[in-house]
Amino acid sequence: MPKFTSNNAEINYQTFGDATQPAIIFSNSLGTQFSMWQPQIDFFKTDFYVICYDTRGHGESSAPKGPYSLDLLGEDVINLLDHLKIEKAVFCGISMGGLTGQWLAIHHPERFKHVIVCNTAAKIGQEQVWNERAALVREQGLKPIADTAASRWFTEPFIQSQSTIVETLSRDLGAGSPEGYASCCEALAKADLREQLKEISVPVLVIAGQKDPVTTVADGQYMVNHIKNSALFEIDASHISNIEQPQVFNQTLYDMIK
């Protein structure tokens, strides 16, 4: 798969569909890789030029020593669009990717037709907790995080009925780069866009999981209350809603951006 260099990192990406179609770029959550978007790739590649990438420190992208910052994660997206010579795209990011999307909507609105942020918040969690997780991962690796991820990512019925999907995602997390994961934790520790949401002018769709214990519907409502041109869609899912409810997720996106 192709890679390009962005701010000292080799970013792994892949494109699907016809480059003459409107572009849509997907950004993964913490501890996953772009394969998490397979249900969306399959759905959108007919009518859109689909771009997926592994966030730095994840998947096949390199993991230069951190700490990283939200600015850095956002700049990687702009650099990828520049690399592909795409002037304007739709952006869809989940969790950490959703925070990246908010940053992009604030700092580079001219590059995006729509921004969809899913299962995310303007500030995710607490700084001390993120820094403690970064220290734990550097000390013990990713296995302790991977062993408990499923309960944060999915509802219990989905875990029981779709065990292969859950096991694959958990295994990918466990096999990831501890340094890359920890450095992204440090970026999340510092990231707080609550005061800047009012600057966003690009149309934003917020998707919030009704059963998400990590980033709640209240977090989604907060964003919508502070972003002028925005709407909230509640989905019957936990934290990785694009996988738990792919049909509803895809149709909701499509209805906004078609």
Q: What mean pLDDT is predicted for residues 26-38?
A: 98
Convert the pLDDT of each residue in 160-185 to its tens digit. 999 999 999 999 999 999 999 999 99
The helix (run of H) or strand (run of E) holding residue 77 is: helix 70-83
Q: Is domain 3-257 given the CATH code 3.30.70.3420 in the classification?
A: no
Contact 158, 244 (CB under 8 A): yes
The contacts of residue 245 (CB under 8 Å, 6+ apart) are 235, 236, 237
User: Is a pLDDT exceeding 90 seen at residue 157?
Assistant: yes
Q: What mean pLDDT is predicted for residues 229-236?
A: 98
User: Is a pLDDT exceeding 90 seen at residue 238?
Assistant: yes
* In the chain, where the domains are located: 3-257
Convert the pLDDT of each residue in 101-151 to its tens digit. 999 999 999 999 999 999 999 999 999 999 999 999 999 999 999 999 999
Q: What is the mean pLDDT of the chain?
A: 97
Res 67: pLDDT: 87
* pLDDT band with cut points at 50, 70 and 90 for residue 8: very high
Res 2: pLDDT: 95
Select from 94, 114, 123, 102 the least CA-distant residue to 249: 94
The contacts of residue 174 (CB under 8 Å, 6+ apart) are 142, 143, 145, 146, 147
Res 1: pLDDT: 80
The contacts of residue 83 (CB under 8 Å, 6+ apart) are 4, 6
Res 66: pLDDT: 85
Q: What mean pLDDT is predicted for residues 80-93?
A: 98
